[in-house]
Chains A and B, each alone.
Chain A
Amino acid sequence: QKEVEQNSGPLSVPEGAIASLNCTYSDRVSQSFFWYRQYSGKSPELIMSIYSNGDKEDGRFTAQLNKASQYVSLLIRDSQPSDSATYLCAVLQGGSEKLVFGKGTKLTVNP
């Protein structure tokens, strides 16, 4: 089993819709979870971090964490064409400081 898995893409949504991105992880002692956005040809940039079970909201973005299910998700409300990018889930593995990324999900928001 891969350490961090993301739902296979690409994902295409119309402008104004909700985009849902999912991620599962294998290391049960992981404590920190991150969502990065990466535009084509650019470096990843942090969108959200989440450390506790439940939801964390920041503007149009909501991260959800369920440690019992080893699942973390990102919801993007009112999707905009500028949200079109690849979204990377990252997990900081407990004890080792190893930061592991998933394959990424490419999101396209159609005007």
Chain B
Amino acid sequence: NAGVTQTPKFRILKIGQSMTLQCAQDMNHNYMYWYRQDPGMGLKLIYYSVGAGITDKGEVPNGYNVSRSTTEDFPLRLELAAPSQTSVYFCASRFRGITEAFFGQGTRLTVV
């Protein structure tokens, strides 16, 4: 059981480039989340999904896109990367009901 797997772990992007952060879970969880964490700050919700084909915006969705075609995968797309998107990105998943979320190991992204 791998849990929540994020790839890559580190990435440097140039301004204006695009990339996809991958997130996969093997726990058959219904709900998946993307957060960003800036230095010394808490987690800000970018997007979340309550099931395949269903996504919704969080607190800071601008500059990002998501899709959820399967229960297992929830990729986060950055279009036209900006220095303000330099952050650590965490993916999390949880089962339905009043259950806790499990986190991936994070992706550290630097935009230069």
Residue A25 interfacial (CB < 8 Å): no
Q: Chain B residues with Cβ under 8 A from A45's Cβ? A: 103
Q: Chain A residues with Cβ under 8 A from B33's Cβ? A: 99
Give the A-B pair count, Cβ closer than 8 A: 52
Q: What sequence of 0s and 1s flags, for each residue 24-59 of chain A, a beta carbon within 8 Å of any chain B beta carbon?
A: 000000011010000000011110010100000000
Question: Which of the listed residues B42, B48, B56, B101 has the most CB atoms from chain A within 10 Å of its own CB?
Answer: B42
Given B58, B98, B105, which contacts A51 in the complex, CB threshold below 8 Å?
B98
Q: Give A3 to B43 CA distance when docked, in angstroms.
A: 12
Residue B111 interfacial (CB < 8 Å): no
Q: Give A99 to B105 CA distance when docked, in angstroms.
A: 18
Q: Assuming the A-B contacts A97-B50, A98-B58, A99-B48, are A44 and B43 also in contact, with contact meaning beta carbons closer than 8 angstroms in the complex?
A: yes
Q: Chain B residues with Cβ under 8 A from A46's Cβ? A: 100-101
> Which B residues fall within an 8 A CB radius of A?
31, 33, 35, 40-45, 48, 50, 56, 58-59, 90, 92, 94, 98, 100-101, 103-106
28 contacts between A and B (CB under 8 A): A3-B59, A6-B42, A34-B100, A34-B101, A43-B104, A43-B106, A44-B43, A46-B101, A49-B98, A49-B100, A51-B98, A88-B42, A96-B56, A97-B48, A98-B45, A98-B48, A98-B58, A99-B31, A99-B33, A99-B92, A99-B101, A101-B42, A101-B43, A101-B44, A101-B45, A102-B42, A103-B41, A103-B42
